[in-house]
Structure 1
């Protein structure tokens, strides 16, 4: 009798765990919206990288070359989140829909001053994208990545702004609030960890 009781109890516990809603059992799986948003982030980070590499070739300003390398780190962070779900994204494929945007940014950089202003615009847009992905996901891995990439992106905004100011030129925020923008550019470079900077 005791053996039958133990068997029934075990069966009941297993059955209850299998009866959990799929949303509970698959809480770590990314939904379609998260996959799409992350794929778009990869494409936009790739645009930034390509634009900065182009500006580096034109103006030989190491700032563009160094931040282009950091953009690859951001791409890899987002790709790794998708890879954990067995989703493979080629950043070159992710950028095809926004090829016109990349060309527009490159054409805006007609001189080094214009290139720095374009870089500031790109970093502002990247911050908006990061805010969106963090706001629309409750997944800890996504939110942690967004926090780290945000830290690195703020640093990029800060150093591009300082480089422009050193040339006695100005830039007014366009895509993030004036308060957020001023807090970033009047602050300092933050240590984000090697993974994000």
Structure 2
């Protein structure tokens, strides 16, 4: 939670550092827009969760928070796609949808009640709601600023996932978080690559210099992200909530129209 609160101030400072008047969208490296989080799950195809591990109150809190943090990324990127029409934002937003579905599948598998994602920009967590307003305003300044915001979100996401994985002993949660982290690393490379193409830059704020360098030195894997049975049509205000392996290998869709709270058979301890 500390990361979310501190980012509100840091992102404004980052905007001043990285702002540029360049608006040459034709310089965007479209070879990177397929850096899809679900593609990073290829190594986990065929795996499934057991849903029989111990779930602590901290685990429950973490899953509920990560669901909304993934929604934050999804909603911010859709906002930027609507503003700039740049494909990288739409493609990565679709990938964030797959992330949300993966977390929801875990919540449902463990019978944890949760509120289904609401409309764009709406969050249960007040800090994330405020962060959405801050980030979209920051990215409205220019395409470069929007790409910086994208890199910032992935930076924060990786840091939060590292902390969450270190605080749980549940193998299912560790598996899912690890795959989400791989995806965020892929996204960070995509955003930084496109920033470089527009003479912009990004400096890591949450992960270590060593981790950041290792991420940039990696390579994006590609895949169709169609593992599992991820074709569920439930959802709330356009968000898919059903289907897909717990690894997040399912195909995300966005044509649900139901709302409300999910109440399943058991709650976390």
Gaps of 5+ in 2: 1-50, 226-247, 251-269
Report the secondary structure of 1:91's partner residue: coil
Q: Which has the higher contact order (CA 8 A, sep 6+)?
A: 2
Q: Say yes or no: does 1:121 pair with 2:158.
A: no
Question: If the length of structure 2 is used for normalisation, what is the TM-score?
Answer: 0.60
Rounded to whole Å, the distance in 1 between the matches of 2:183 and 2:58 is: 24
Give the corresponding residue for 1:100. Answer: 130
The structure whose Rg is larger is 1
Partner of 2:117: 91
Residue matched to 1:146: 177
Q: Alpha-carbon deviation of 1:27?
A: 6.5
1:173-188 equivalences in 2 (<5 Å): 173-188=204-219
When structure 1 is superposed on structure 2, of 28-37 and 153-162 the one drifting more is 28-37
Kept after mapping to 1: 8 A contact 2:165/2:173: yes
**How many residue pairs end up in the alignment?**
172
Contact 2:155 2:206 in 1 (8 A): yes
Alpha-carbon distance in 2 for matches of 1:95, 1:125: 19
Residues 77/94 of structure 1: CA separation in 2 closer, same or farther (3 Å cut): farther
Work out the CA distance in 2 between the residues paired with 1:193 and 1:127.
23
Shift of 1:190: 3.4
TM-fit CA distance, 1:181 = 0.7
More deviation in 167-176 or 108-117? Answer: 167-176
Change (3 A) 1:157 1:58: same
For structure 1, which runs of at least 5 residues remain unmatched after alignment?
1-25
Partner deviation per Cα, 1:8-53 (whole Å, 9 max, x = no partner): xxxxxxxxxxxxxxxxxx9624111100011011111101100000
Q: Is the CA contact 1:79–1:88 (under 8 Å) kept in the aligned structure 2?
A: no
Structural RMSD (CA): 2.0
2:162 matched to 1:131?
A: yes
